[in-house]
Structures are given as structure tokens and as C-alpha cells.
Amino acid sequence: MQDPYPVPPFTCPASGSATVPGSKSITNRALVMAALADGVTLLENCLFSEDTEIMVKALQDLGFDVQPDPAALTIRVSGLSGQIPAKQANLHVGNSGTSARFLAALCCLGQEGTYTLDGVPQMRKRPIADLADALNQLGADVQTQDGFAPLLIRPNGLAGGQARIDATASSQFVSALVLVAPYAKNGIRIAMTETSVRRGYIDLTLEMLKQFGTPADSIEASLDGYRIAPSQPYRCEQPSYAVEGDASAASYFFALPLAVGGSVEIVGVTKNSLQGDIAFARRLEEIGARIEWRERSALCSYDLTKGRAAPFSGDFYPYSDTFLTAAALAPLLSGPSSIEGIEHTRHQECDRIAAMAQGLQRAGQEASETPGSLAITPAPLQPATIDTFHDHRVAMSFAILGSHDARGDGSPWLQIEDPTCCRKTFPEFFTVLENLRQQSL
């Protein structure tokens, strides 16, 4: 793929469909739960991307029988009822925060041995100290390097009990604890030291526990924390477990009609998705998009002949992965946008606030940042090359802005550096976007 990649603009209003891959968040949670389950679990509609392949490889390195079939989008996992076969393993998680946090908790369930967990240089900048401290409160032995990876884990089962945790940096800290809680000898009580935490993905994790057989009455959730009692090993009661389409990936195609006009059917998403990022569709409706929900898809439409959509304003904290989509769309809206509640995104795959501000400024926009917000005032678009900082969401978000025919002649005006970074969660993104452009001609 050409690097930097010149994004071909849409010269006609969008008209067609785009199928989003399986959810990364659900695929990686399901992999962990299937490995901890009693017996074989067949996962369907799995995401095959860098992040999920890292998780598959790590589970295999831990001794689990994990059989991926990319052509069929399935992964067959033989669970061992909470046992970890390998007594020693060196796990490399790249820049996958999800894998690092979930695997750290999983490894604490071992009965003996030594596990190390490390990643690329950026992974060593991503916070994990609060999770390690919480696991140690529950009887684990997890050592960090000054609060960051690499981790050294010496497992001896997980006694459980109560752990106090600050999960403002990432709700995945809580999800990691929840995933292993049924296997802790005394269950787990999680006390939140700060209650303003993104709950959507924690709620998703709790729902998946129920889907894998954890009794609903053994789970308690409140503003102050969570309690999960010890229970029987996970088991998928259905012949297979179907992974939902990725709501975060869907955000780009929900946004596209507001950039180019027309209608896009986003296949693989549902209004009642377990994923909190589906709420981005609601934000688009608030600024003027029309969305029709169907059984397994959504049709998003916008008529540009009636003028630009209204600007964004307010808190994106509960679904912050989509703030980048909103920021990239902001230059095409009718006034200044203000996106708040995103301070924690400075410590993800890159400093996402700074990356979006820089890219927007290169494209001629007025973009100003505070520690936890980004303000964008539309200005005439200028040709630009976008530094993605190897962040998949930066690349995909700016691709939507680049789909706008800024010059009016169909010639590319926006280039995306390192476009293959999308393989982290959506390897076929640019192919799907181009196919949709071709459908619209």
C-alpha cells in the first residue's frame, strides 16, 4: 500500500454498504473467557487483526490449544477450567493495551511458575501500575518497572477479597479484574477510588460473564464498585459464541455521510449493541444525521444540499475512542466544535489529543487543546500529509476527512502516513472505504 496514502475523495454522495469486522473488545474478552472455560468454545465472526493475533499468540504461549481460522472468521479454544498449562512464558503484547491488562490478570490465576509481559516502547509508556497494585491486593505477586511494563508475575492462584483501584486511566483495569473474578478463591470486591470511570466496557464485560454462564445473582454493580462471587468455570451454553460487529470501527462509516453526503448502510451493528461506542450514532443524530436501525445493520444518511451539520459539543468520555472521528469531521461542520472529557486518551496508542490537533492544523484548521479537551474551528481546508503516530484511529479518522472532495475535482488532497497501522483493529479498512467509494460512483 502506498505510504503516504493519498485518500481518493468521493465525487458523488455515498450510496452503498460497508461491513465492519468483529469487535476487538469482544473478541479479546471472549478469547480470555474461552481459555478459562470448561471445554471447547467456538468463537464466530472474530476480528483478525494485530491486537487479536497478539492475544491468540499469547494464549498459545501459555500452553492453550487455540486454533484460529481466518478464512472462516472463527477461533476454536480448548479451555481448562481456569488452569494455565505453561508454567513459564515470555509474553510480547506489542502496543496492545487490552492484551497487556487482560493477560496480566489471567496469569495471576496460575499455581506456580514465572511469566513476563512486555511490549514495544510505546507500551512501556502506557499505565498499568494501578492494575498491578489491585492484583497484589488480591493476593498476586506482580512487579512492574516503575509502574509500567515490563511485568514480572509469580502466580500462586488468586485469593481474592477486596481491592481498591483508580481506573480513570483505563476501564480495562476493572474489566481485567472482572474477567478473573469467578476464579478467585474468595471472589473479588472492587472499590472504585474515583467513580467517574467509563462504565460502558465494564458493563460489556459483566454481560459477557452472564453469557458464559456466570449466575446473575453472583454479580453486583454500584456506583462505588463491583462484587463478583466465586462460581463455576465459564461455559458457552450455545454451540458457538458470535462476536458483535465493532461499534468503534462503525463510527467512521456513520460519519462518512456527513462528510460526503448520501447514505451508508453499516452492516454488522445493532442498536442494542453491548458496546458503549454505539452511542456515537446518537451524537450524529443530535447534529443532524438520520439513522434507521435494522435487524443487523444501520442506515445513516445526510443531505449536504441542506447545508453543513451542526458542530459537536460536550463530553466524549464514555465513548472516547470515537472522539477522533468527531474531531476529523469537525472541519466540515457549521461552526466550532468542542470535545471534552478525553484527558486519558493522551496515554493510549499515542497522545491522541496532540495527534489530532497537529493533523487538523496541518489541514489548515484552528485546533487548540487543553489537558482534557480539543476545540476545532472550521477554516478552508489545505492539502496536508497526516502523521498517524502509528495509531490506527488517527489514520481511519482522517481518512473520513480526506474522503471529502475539498478541491471539487476529485483529486486527493489529504495523505495518510503509515496507513497499514490500521491492521491493529481493521486491516481491510482502506479497502472497505474504497469499495464504498466505487459503489457510490
CA 337 to chain centre: 23
pLDDT of residue 128: 95
Is the predicted pLDDT of residue 127 greater than 90, yes or no?
no
Whether a cis peptide bond, with omega within 30° of 0, leads into 70 is: no
Q: What is the mean pLDDT of residues 264-268?
A: 97
Residue 119 grid cell: 511490549
- 314-366: per-residue pLDDT in tens? 999 999 999 999 999 999 999 999 999 999 999 999 999 999 999 999 999 99
pTM as predicted: 0.88
Query: Is 250 within 8 Å of 396 (Cβ atoms)?
Result: no
pLDDT of residue 152: 98
Q: State how far the Cα of 328 lies from the Cα of 145, in Å rounded to an integer.
A: 36
429-440 and 247-260 are packed helices; what angle lies between their axes, rounded to 10 degrees? 30
Residue 190 grid cell: 472492587
For residue 338, list its beta bridge partners: 313, 375
The percent of residues above 90 in pLDDT, for the chain, comes to: 96
CA 415 to chain centre: 24
Q: pLDDT class for 169, splitting at 50, 70, 90? A: confident
Q: pLDDT class for 222, splitting at 50, 70, 90? A: very high
- 35-64: per-residue pLDDT in tens? 999 999 999 999 999 999 999 999 999 999
Query: Is 6 within 8 Å of 412 (Cβ atoms)?
Result: yes
Q: State how far the Cα of 218 lies from the Cα of 232, in Å rounded to an integer.
A: 11
Whether a cis peptide bond, with omega within 30° of 0, leads into 4 is: yes
State the CB neighbour count (10 A cutoff) for residue 343.
Answer: 16
pLDDT of residue 280: 98
Q: State how far the Cα of 285 lies from the Cα of 272, in Å rounded to an integer.
A: 16
The conformational region for residue 288 under phi > 0 = left, psi -120 to 50 = alpha, else beta, is left
pLDDT of residue 76: 98
Radius of gyration (C-alpha) of the chain in whole angstroms: 22
CA 35 to chain centre: 21
Q: What is the mean pLDDT of residues 195-214?
A: 92
pLDDT of residue 406: 98
For residue 79, list its beta bridge partners: 39
Place of cell 489491585: 134
Mean pLDDT across the chain: 96
For residue 263, the surrounding DSSP H or E stretch is strand 262-267
Q: State how far the Cα of 192 lies from the Cα of 232, in Å rounded to an integer.
A: 26
Entry field: residues in the chain: 441
If one compares 260 and 169, the residue with the highest pLDDT of the two is 260
pLDDT of residue 437: 98
- 57-91: per-residue pLDDT in tens? 999 999 999 999 999 999 999 999 999 999 999 99
State the CB neighbour count (10 A cutoff) for residue 220.
Answer: 13
- 230-253: per-residue pLDDT in tens? 999 999 988 899 999 999 999 999
pLDDT of residue 164: 96
User: Which residue ranges form the domains of the chain, and what is each CATH number?
Assistant: 5-22+244-440 (3.65.10.10), 24-219 (3.65.10.10)
pLDDT of residue 100: 97
Look at residues 70, 57, 161 and name the one whose alpha carbon lies nearest to residue 99: 57
pLDDT of residue 410: 97
Annotated active-site residue in 51, 130, 277, 321:
321
**Residue 241 DSSP SS3:** strand
Is the predicted pLDDT of residue 14 greater than 90, yes or no?
yes
Q: What is the mean pLDDT of residues 280-304?
A: 97
CA 156 to chain centre: 31
- 395-423: per-residue pLDDT in tens? 999 999 999 999 999 999 999 999 999 99
Is the predicted pLDDT of residue 196 greater than 90, yes or no?
no
Q: State how far the Cα of 241 lies from the Cα of 243, in Å rounded to an integer.
A: 6
pLDDT of residue 87: 96
pLDDT of residue 239: 87
Q: What is the mean pLDDT of residues 138-163?
A: 96
Q: Is 321 annotated in the active site?
A: yes
pLDDT of residue 238: 85
Positive or negative CA dihedral for 283, 284, 287, 291? negative
Query: Is 425 within 8 Å of 249 (Cβ atoms)?
Result: yes
Q: State how far the Cα of 84 lies from the Cα of 196, in Å rounded to an integer.
A: 34
If one compares 389 and 197, the residue with the highest pLDDT of the two is 389
Residue 387 to residues 8, 68, 248, 417: CA-CA distances in angstroms?
18, 33, 21, 5
Q: What is the mean pLDDT of residues 138-156?
A: 96
